[in-house]
Amino acid sequence: MGEHIIEVSSLVKRFGDFIAVDNVSFSVEKGSLFGLLGANGAGKTTLIRMLCGLMAADAGSVSLAGIDVLKNPEEVKMRIGYMSQRFSLYRDLTADENLEFFGGLYGARDTEGAAGRSRILDSVGLAGMENTLAGDLPGGISQRLALACAMSHNPAVLFLDEPTAGVDPVSRRRFWDLIHERAEEGTTVLVTTHYLDEAEYCNDIVLMHSGRIVADGGPDEMKRRIISGPVFEISGSGASFLESVLEDESWVIEFSLFGDSVHIQTEEGMGLIDVKSRLLTLAGNNQDFEIEHITPSLEDVFLRIIDQSESEGEAVI
């Protein structure tokens, strides 16, 4: 295992009687993509503010790139970069001027000279666009410029908040390829998002609920662990009939509706052939359907864990 760039230990933050972060501990490996997930009010924002040295803690410790963040909050700020959902670039400055401005703000060396900036812009695919106003750049390209600005000072840890919201799939793909390259070079990336498609790009995930970490692991490992039975998709014209009768079947554990299909999770160990024959019996005259074995999504995992946490009687607001 590699070295840990972030170590959070027994961290607590209270606001009056409300415990926003409740004894949270985790560590993040250097060069990994780490996903911090949770519903609104789960405590993510409070936790991130403490990681960035923007908020004091009531108990516990945070170390980031070897800095004791709670003791030396100012020192950590030069070691982190931040890029938000709707990236904050100056629309009336050119790409080059934006990079110079943000680099100056962070005290970056590499962006002081035009040659250094040109090399950075080149590395994120903005060659030839140095003198274009940021406001005139298409969404996917201005997103990569924002990434270059957030990383101008070579931060040890890069925070991304819903980074690919609103960009097209081709640009999204290019963005995550860039992020994987930076991670390969040693930058650690911490992602927060409500769109769990984005969390699929992470190596490790923690899920927060009511101020606590309620689950952690790799995306695939979490899917296997949390969604124990197989998941099938039923589609075709017979699906809408099956939708009305499946709810009463005891072997169907979970049941969710999609546009023109139904997803079911069955008891453990059930195979495609077994499920199909049961459905054919139930379907009567509505035999026109298809069935396919599918991988559950991280959203399925997320919702399942939240449901379990709530049924265990934890306070939820």
Partner 1 sequence: MSASNINGIDYAAVLDSVGKSFQGKAALKSLSLKIPTAGVFALVGPDGAGKSTLLQMLCGLLTPDSGSLEVLGVSLPRGLAGVRPQLGYLSQHFSLYGDLSIDENMAFAAEIYGMKNYLYKRDELLDMTGLTPFRKRLADRLSGGMKQKLALACTLVHNPRLILLDEPTNGVDPVSRREFWKLLRGLGKLNITLVMSTPYMDEAERADSVAFIHEGKLLMTGSPGEIRRSWDRKILEIFCDRNRAAMPVLSRLYPEGDLQIFGDRVHLAMLQDGPEEDEVVRCLEDAGIRVKSSGPVRSGLENVFLSMIQKEEAVNG
The residues that touch partner 1, with contacts defined as CB under 8 A, are 33, 35, 38-41, 138-140, 165-171, 173, 176-177, 180, 184, 194-197, 199-205, 218-221, 233, 235-236, 257-261, 292, 294-295, 297, 299, 302-303, 306
- Taking the complex as a whole, the smallest distance from the CB of residue 240 to partner 1 amounts, in Å, to 11
Closer residue to partner 1 (CB): 68 or 181: 181
The residue (of 170 and 273) whose beta carbon lies closer to partner 1 is 170
Which of 250/311 has CB closer to partner 1?
311
To partner 1, the closest distance from the beta carbon of 221 in angstroms equals: 8
Q: Nearest approach, Cβ of 217 to partner 1 (angstroms)?
A: 10
- Write down the least CB distance from residue 181 to partner 1, Å: 9
Strand-pair partners of 21:
13
Which C-beta is closer to partner 1: that of 117 or that of 223? 223
Tokens matching residue 187: 């930058």
Cα separation, 235 vs 272, in Å, equals: 14
Which residue has 């982190």 as its token pair? 80
Q: Which is nearer to partner 1, 23 or 235 (CB)?
A: 235
Neighbours of 108 (CB within 10 A): 22
3-state secondary structure of 5: strand
**DSSP category for residue 135:** G
Give the integer Cα–Cα distance in Å for 154 and 152. 6
What is the nearest approach in angstroms of partner 1 to the Cβ of residue 117? 26
Please provide the distance, in angstroms rounded to a whole number, between the alpha carbons at the two ends of the chain.
38
3-state secondary structure of 55: coil
174 CB contacts (<8 Å, ≥6 apart)? 125, 140, 144
Looking at beta carbons only, is 74 or 184 nearer to partner 1?
184
> What does the alpha-carbon distance between residue 47 and residue 5 come to, in Å, rounded to a whole number?
16
Contact 231, 264 (CB under 8 A): yes
Residue position matching structure tokens 């936790």: 47
Minimum distance of partner 1 from residue 74's CB (angstroms): 31
Structure tokens at 119: 């090399």
How far is residue 70's CA from residue 305's CA, in Å, rounded to a whole number?
31
Query: Least distance from C-beta 10 to partner 1, angstroms?
Result: 26
Calpha distance 272→157 (Å, rounded): 44
Residue 263's nearest CA partner among 274, 254, 272 is: 254
Q: Which candidate, 148, 201, 156, places its Cα nearest to that of 37?
A: 201
Nearer to partner 1, 39 or 55 (CB): 39
* Least separation in angstroms between CB 228 and partner 1: 17
In the bound state with partner 1, the residue whose beta carbon lies nearer, of 228 and 295, is 295
